[in-house]
Structures are given as C-alpha cells and as structure tokens.
Structure 1
Amino acid sequence: MSIFSENIRYLRGKLGVSQQSVADSINITRGRYAKYEDSANSPSPEILISVSRYYKISIDLLLTIDLKRYSIDDILKLPDNRIVLPIKVGKTGENKIEIIPHKGKMGYLTGYNDPDYIERLQHMSLPFLRNGKYRAFPVEGDSMPPYNDGTHIIGKYLESKEDLKKGKSYMFVTRDGIVYKRFGKLDNSGTFVSSDNLFYEPYEIEWKDILEIWEFAGSVNTKELETPSNNFEEIKIMFKALQNEIKSLHCP
C-alpha cells in the first residue's frame, strides 16, 4: 500500500489541509488516518471509497499510479478498459509522442496500461500535433499501401468508438495484435474494417477484443515510398479476380 500512502500524503499537501481535517471529513480519527499515510495500516474498502470521494480521485489511481509524476490536468480519463492515460508533455509544452518499436510491438499489448512501460519508450515531438494524445505505431506488411515495413503511423487517441468516421484509417490495438485498417461500419458486436489492398478481405473486430483505437494523424517513414504503378487500378482488379478464382477452386 506504499503507493496509496504516498498518494494521499501528496494530495493532502496539494490541498493544504491537515490530517485532522481529512479524518473529520471521512468520519474516522486522526490517528487512524495517520496510519494510512504512514503505511502502518491498510484501509478497508469502505475507507478507500471515502478517501477516493474526498480527493475526487479514482480508487484505481490511488492504488496504482504515482500521482506525483503526473499533473492531474494532464491525465485523460478513459472508458471501459482503463482508467487513465498519462499525457507526457515537454518543457516547452509540446506533446511527447511515444514510439512503439517494431521488434517489441507485441510487448505493448501487456504494457499499454503500465505507466512505467510507457515511460521507458523512446519518444519524439512534432510541433503541429497538439490538443490530444499521440503515439507512433509500427506498420508491417502490404495491406495498406503505400505504407510498408519501416513506417510508423502516428495515431491520435480516440476516446469513444462513436467518434469513428467511415472511410478514415485507424490503428486498432487488440488482444491479438496491432492492426492498421480503414473503418467501414460498426454494430453492437464490433467494427468492420478493410485494407486498401483489395487482395485482403474485410473483416470484423469484436469490441471485447479492442483495447485502444488511434486515429491516423501522420506517418514517419524510414524507407522511401514506392512509386505507384500507372496501372494500379488494373492490378487491383487482377488481384481481385485471382482471389475469386482461388475461392472457386475450394468450392465443392
């Protein structure tokens, strides 16, 4: 409970109130409250609720996040999967964009809600990306040309699935991996997405498997983009025809 103890001591100091004042507000003795700040005793669920309401900070935050490391104003509340998304800001006020590495991108699936993991990531800043939380994700494969291996898609955190826009592209962080796709439509069970490479069939991602959604805000390439062929549309049609032919071969 050391994080909890440090947090309530820090919050009380920020408010400039005494232990007696807090104790009176949550209907316990000052001595009992002091033991929580000293980490001598662990609070009951009822006390946790009272302390959370007094400081107007969620129990999840009080127990798991070192609040001294983040400005309360720079913590973005999230629905469903998590409680907070810390926003790192540089000395000049620009957002710090964390970079998810190509080789370690699967580690993001377990570390995405761990502030210590996020803190260890490399980051960059782009002065024209402000007013939101941004993160850079690696792209692999050929499903979303012209982006290919070596590209990082910069995404802006999407707070609600209701903000999805048809035809726009997004990074979907799911329990199975990270995919960059174009949004088609949604229903109660999930969202339908597609690739720009028509060789790949559209499919549905179920809501229960989605951890985060990041809207396309830019890209950073470490390899030169290939020049599209003049016959690009013809090639897409050819691949689609070939795909249908392959399907027909598997039909009884």
Structure 2
Amino acid sequence: MKPIQANIKHLRALRKLSQERFADELNWTRSVVGSYEEGRSEPPIDRLIDLSNFFNIPIDILVKNDLRKAKDTSFIEVGNKRVLFPVTVNEDNEDLIEIIPTKASAGYLSGYDDPEYIEQLQKIKLPFLPTGTHRAFPIKGDSMLPVKDGAFIVAKFLEDIRDIKNGRTYIILTKDDGLVYKRIYVPEGDTTSLLLSSDNKSYQPYLIARDTVLEIWEFTCCINTQEYDEKELKLSSIMTMFQELKVELESIKQL
C-alpha cells in the first residue's frame, strides 16, 4: 500500500470522521473513500487537491510520507499550510532530543520533515531543559567563536519567525544554505529579510529572504566536546557524554 492510501484513513481518523461523513465533506461517495483506504485505487490529482485543501497539508507530504505515526500536534502552520513536524517521545510521553550527527547534518535539509529520517536519529533526554521541543545540532568551523568546531548547540524549536529576538543566536535551516548557526538581526522596516551575522568578525554578515527559511531553533545551551580525544567523539560516545553530563555545559551570552 502506498503512503497516500494509509494517510487518508489515518487523517480521517484524527478528525474522528466516519467514511460516510468524510465523503460528504469532500462531495465524494463512501465507496470512493473505501477504495482509496483499502488500496484498490489511487486518488487522481483533482482529489489529491481536495485532500490537500481539506487537511490543509501540502500534496507532496500527503503522497511521500507515511503519516500514521503523526498526531494533529505533529503538524505546524507554515504560511497557510500545515507541514509535518516529527516529534519523538519516550514511554512516559516526554519529548526526546534528537541528535543530528555531523556526518548527517548535510542531509537534514532533505530529511527535516521526514518521519523516517527523524526516527533513525539517536535520541536522549536532558531533564534540565525548559519546556519545548529541542534538538542538538553539530557546529562546523569557527564563524561563531567562542563556540568551536565540534561543539553541539541544543536549541528549542521556534514556531513563528515573528518571535525572533533581535540579536539572539539561532540554528536556521534555509532552502539555499541548509543548516547554519548565526546571530539574527531584524532589519528595521524590512518585513522580507533577516540579517545573519557571525560572532567571528572575519566573516561578513549577509541578508536572507524570510521565505527561504524552513525552520528556526533558538539557542538553549552549548555542549563543548573539545576536551575529548577525537577517537572518543563517535556518536555513541557523544550520546553517553550527553546523558551522563560529562561535558562542559555553558550558557553563551545573548548580548
């Protein structure tokens, strides 16, 4: 069975609609709904558009992703559409932190909204973090000194770009640049751009268009790993360091 067929049944169930009621909402017949959910046929493009409009979810997410693990809270509003935001929890329904390993960070741009990509990431729980959804991102290079190459930034997901605090640091995912860690400034009177600045003044600040931003994560803390031997910095070792807190944990001033 293809994802779209399982997704129709799952999303209908999330809305607590019977097949008959769902069919009425879309001006379809109940037998059409049944044929899609049972995998006997596939919806043509006009009915994919109906589904996209009804659930307010882009067609590509409906078609490409298996949404059966998703709840209504797994979607966030971006513009006038909802997009999938995979969140993993433990057996106590507590949010877990996904660790984006250095070698996998280049693939985050294509996998950030894919539940299967997020599912395969290693996960930990850091009880000292404030409420909210957090992920740990690897830092490359020296553009944000004193945060050094090899450190991890633990950051909290920011749902609304309008909540950016001028001059604070964020992990930003953009269509053009992938993942970057920068200090963000909101140009006065400019509602279409953001100014990204490095703390290392050897790097020049630059503007990006707001509509290229896919995700923003607000800095929570920095976990430095420089004191460890390179051989120790395998993902499994980093996870152990996180869990046992045998790393230097420091807050970076946001001034």
SS at match of 1:5: helix
**How far apart in 1 are the matches of 2:210 and 2:16?**
43
SS at match of 1:36: helix
SS at match of 2:35: helix
Shift of 1:21: 4.1
Determine whether 1:114 maps to 2:114. Answer: yes
Shift of 1:47: 3.5
In structure 2, relative to structure 1, the CA distance for the partners of 1:138 and 1:9 (3 Å cut) is same
Identity %: 41
SS at match of 1:172: strand
**How far apart in 1 are the matches of 2:196 and 2:15?**
47
**How far apart in 2 are the matches of 1:110 and 1:19?**
34
* Residues 185 and 191, structure 1, Cα contact 8 Å, conserved in 2: yes
Shift of 1:168: 0.7
1:131-150 maps to which residues of 2 (within 5 A)? 131-150=131-150
* Residues 14 and 71, structure 2, Cα contact 8 Å, conserved in 1: no
Shift of 1:25: 4.3
- What do residues 118-155 of structure 1 show as CA deviations (whole Å, max 9, x unaligned)? 11111221123353221111112222222102211011
Mean CA deviation greater in 145-154 or 88-97: 88-97
**How far apart in 2 are the matches of 1:130 and 1:45?**
44
* Residues 98 and 124, structure 2, Cα contact 8 Å, conserved in 1: yes
Q: What is the letter of the counterpart of residue 96 of structure 1? A: L
Alignment correspondent of 2:232: none
Alignment correspondent of 2:73: 73
Mean CA deviation greater in 86-95 or 197-206: 197-206
* Residues 189 and 207, structure 1, Cα contact 8 Å, conserved in 2: yes
SS at match of 2:101: coil
- What do residues 153-202 of structure 1 show as CA deviations (whole Å, max 9, x unaligned)? 01112222211111211112232242211122232442112222233332
SS at match of 1:103: helix
Structure of higher CA gyration radius: 1
Alignment correspondent of 1:219: 222
- What do residues 178-227 of structure 1 show as CA deviations (whole Å, max 9, x unaligned)? 2211122232442112222233332222334433221101122212499x
* Residues 138 and 150, structure 1, Cα contact 8 Å, conserved in 2: yes
Mean CA deviation greater in 173-182 or 6-15: 6-15
CA-atom RMSD in angstroms: 3.0
**How far apart in 2 are the matches of 1:9 and 1:196?**
49
**How far apart in 2 are the matches of 1:11 and 1:189?**
34
1:191-206 maps to which residues of 2 (within 5 A)? 191-206=194-209
Alignment correspondent of 1:32: 32
Q: What is the letter of the counterpart of residue 216 of structure 2? A: I
Alignment correspondent of 1:168: 168
In structure 2, relative to structure 1, the CA distance for the partners of 1:130 and 1:86 (3 Å cut) is farther
SS at match of 1:217: strand
SS at match of 1:68: coil
- What do residues 1-21 of structure 1 show as CA deviations (whole Å, max 9, x unaligned)? 722222233345566665344
* Residues 156 and 216, structure 1, Cα contact 8 Å, conserved in 2: yes
TM-score normalised according to structure 1 size: 0.75
For structure 1, the residue ranges without an aligned partner over 5 or more in a row are 227-252
Alignment correspondent of 1:156: 156
* Residues 79 and 159, structure 1, Cα contact 8 Å, conserved in 2: no
Q: What is the letter of the counterpart of residue 215 of structure 1? A: E
Q: What is the letter of the counterpart of residue 91 of structure 2? A: K
SS at match of 2:68: helix
**How far apart in 2 are the matches of 1:101 and 1:150?**
10
**How far apart in 2 are the matches of 1:152 and 1:219?**
6
1:94-133 maps to which residues of 2 (within 5 A)? 94-133=94-133
Q: What is the letter of the counterpart of residue 183 of structure 1? A: I
SS at match of 1:205: strand
* Residues 154 and 220, structure 1, Cα contact 8 Å, conserved in 2: yes
SS at match of 2:102: coil
For structure 2, the residue ranges without an aligned partner over 5 or more in a row are 228-246, 249-255
Q: What is the letter of the counterpart of residue 36 of structure 2? A: Y
Shift of 1:79: 3.6
